[in-house]
A and B are shown apart, each in its own frame.
Chain A
């Protein structure tokens, strides 16, 4: 009875096209955004911020980027780790070459550089589709990681081959480097993900997003009504890589502190792809749900036996974790192949009628 849209009449098309057309949604989202900005910075401890919330936000941004490309534009990519590496190494080079440049600008520029690289590796998408495109993007993944390993210029000739986030401030608060507090890094990551989630939502409900989905659903029909496939696909690659590039820069600057190419290997590409598939292809919310699932469930599984008072051998528990995690992924994919976002949508549909059966 709480979740009712009855009596909320839309009198303009603008209000009908709003992101949250129902008043209850708007209230909940506004309160939610306020809560995630205020509560964790006040009450969460260092462990929660560093081990759970910050990686969640960064992965959510990367998943958002991949979802625009794979979920909305229908172009399967396994190069996410490579594009994130481009963002990370670009941010490292930019921030060390121009120490006075604001870190926010550095992140945005790194995203733009990743976008350019994404466009280059997106060119084959005009000719190849589906699994074959996935293999082509795999080439991007391996080539980029190889490049960053081989060319010492990217790591400023550091013998260790690692890149380290320098100390930088935003509005007088240290947000990167060894002295930055977890709360400051959390807020910066949150601002980025909130702004880019809004931008992604705007993109997908407007002309650009529709052209992506048209190419995804029926490319011949899309061409017939005037959608130009090359331009549309490359734009999807560019914007997706832009998101992934920023996420990659954040991964080093706001989470790991320092990293080598290993942090961006093919495993990362798969991880982000799993988030998108489990969360829901073609859903902005799904990117967040998928990232939360992949980040939170393993942590929950690690701590669950301890909380329940079971003391299992460490090696056994590690194996059990992987088995349960894998089982859960299969379970959710069987229950709802369209992802967690779809489950949420179904729940909302049911809530509209609850407690009446029809």
Chain B
């Protein structure tokens, strides 16, 4: 499918024309709909994310933000619409196949491997990049060991980057919440993703932890040029770090634009604050 023809995709593509006209979109979300039973969680949402961009998806609770992220990462498959990654339709791929195409994510309610150490969690982020099969793993010698060591070095770079050296051998289940969030970001980064999906990376954090996390997200974007789609409730953070903001309400996109544009949009104000009782 040609990414350069947004006009064919109905009225929702209208406001996107600016972003898609150049045809550099890394992630294209087209008319995606997903329902659970009778509940329409996401209906007809479209937007594009360009390479290296930080895009925030915001909206009140139940707006369908996490469902949308789950559709992108392959946990759910949308009933209608398409998700295109670097020109390839990935709508119906399974999560491991999506991961193999360079998409990593974190979860709203941390999904770390609790029984394992920080290093092992991060090493699992390298799983796709490793080739050791059964026989090499059994021997843990020669090539098999060299691969483990090489990937350990990559993981140690991320440990340094996230400043979690002191806890590298701790089981993640025993870590405080803020650090677990950081380790989960580390696991996603270990994948060396092209696209990073963050589901409320700062949920439940205090100001200081939020500042740290915001800095890490900006550094990831700067240093590796990773495309980042993030869901966040803290408006201050969203306005500060994102290039563009997409607003969902009741499963539908109600606004898209720069943080200042979105803030001024009356529909957004209405969704968040309600209408004045007259």
Partner of A224 from the list B99, B123, B138, B139 (CB cut-off 8 Å) is B99
B205 contacts A by Cβ under 8 Å? no
Distance, CA A226 to CA B149, complexed state (A): 20
- Are A218 and B112 in contact, with the CB atoms below 8 A? yes
Cβ of A38 to closest chain B Cβ, rounded Å: 26
Q: B72-85 interface mask toward A, CB cutoff 8 Å, 1 = contact, 0 = none?
A: 01110000000000
CB contacts (< 8 Å) of A228 on chain B: these are 96
**Does any Cβ of B come within 8 Å of A108's Cβ?**
no
Instruction: Determine if A12 is an interface residue (Cβ-Cβ < 8 Å).
Output: yes
Q: Cα distance A235–B135 when bound, in Å? A: 12
Determine which of B95, B127, B140 lies in contact with A205 in the assembled complex, contact meaning CB atoms within 8 Å: B140
Q: Is the CB of A206 within 8 A of B140?
A: yes
Partner of A207, one of B105, B112, B148: B148
Number of interface residues of A (CB under 8 A): 32
B19 contacts A by Cβ under 8 Å? no
Interface of A: prevailing SS: helix
How many residues in B have their beta carbons less than 8 Å from beta carbons of A?
43
A3-33 CB contact bits vs B (8 Å, 1 = yes)? 0000000001110110000000000000000
Query: What A residues does B104 contact at CB under 8 A?
Result: 224-225
Is the CB–CB distance between B112 and A225 below 8 Å? no
Given A202-B138, A225-B187: A210 in contact with B116 (beta carbons within 8 A): yes
Chain A: which residue is nearest B153 at the CB level?
A13
Q: What A residues does B134 contact at CB under 8 A? A: 203, 208, 235, 239
Q: What CA separation (Å) do A14 and B125 show in the bound complex?
A: 19
Nearest-Cβ distance from residue B48 to partner chain A, whole angstroms: 23
CB-based contact B113/A221 at 8 Å: yes
C-alpha spacing A208/B133, complex, angstroms: 7
Question: Within the complex, what minimum Cβ distance (angstroms) separates B153 from chain A?
Answer: 7
Is residue B100 within 8 Å, beta carbon to beta carbon, of the partner chain? yes
Q: Decide if A199 is an interface residue (CB 8 Å cutoff).
A: yes
**Given A223-B95, A224-B95, does the pair A210, B124 have CB atoms closer than 8 Å?**
yes
Contacts of A235 in B (CB 8 A): 134
What are the residues of chain A within 8 A of B148 when measuring CB–CB? 13, 17, 206-207
Which residues on A sit within 8 Å (CB–CB) of B130?
A: 207
Q: Which residues of B contact A224 (CB under 8 A)?
A: 73, 75, 95, 99, 104-105, 111
> Could you say which of A14, A199, A205, A214 contacts B124, with CB atoms under 8 Å apart?
A214
- Is the Cβ of A202 less than 8 Å from the Cβ of B113? no
Proximity bits, B106-145, A CB within 8 Å = 1, else 0: 0100011111100010011101101011101111100011
Chain A residue with Cβ nearest B100 = A226
Q: A203-B134, A210-B124, A223-B74 are in contact. List 15 more A-B contacts (CB 8 A).
A: A13-B148, A17-B148, A206-B144, A208-B134, A210-B116, A210-B123, A214-B127, A220-B75, A225-B104, A225-B188, A226-B95, A226-B99, A228-B96, A239-B134, A282-B115
Q: Which B positions have Cβ atoms within 8 angstroms of A?
A: 73-75, 94-96, 99-100, 104-105, 107, 111-116, 120, 123-125, 127-128, 130, 132-134, 136-140, 144-145, 147-149, 152-153, 156, 187-188, 191
Identify the 5 closest CB pairs spanning chains A and B, nearest first. Answer: A226-B128, A217-B113, A226-B99, A202-B140, A221-B111
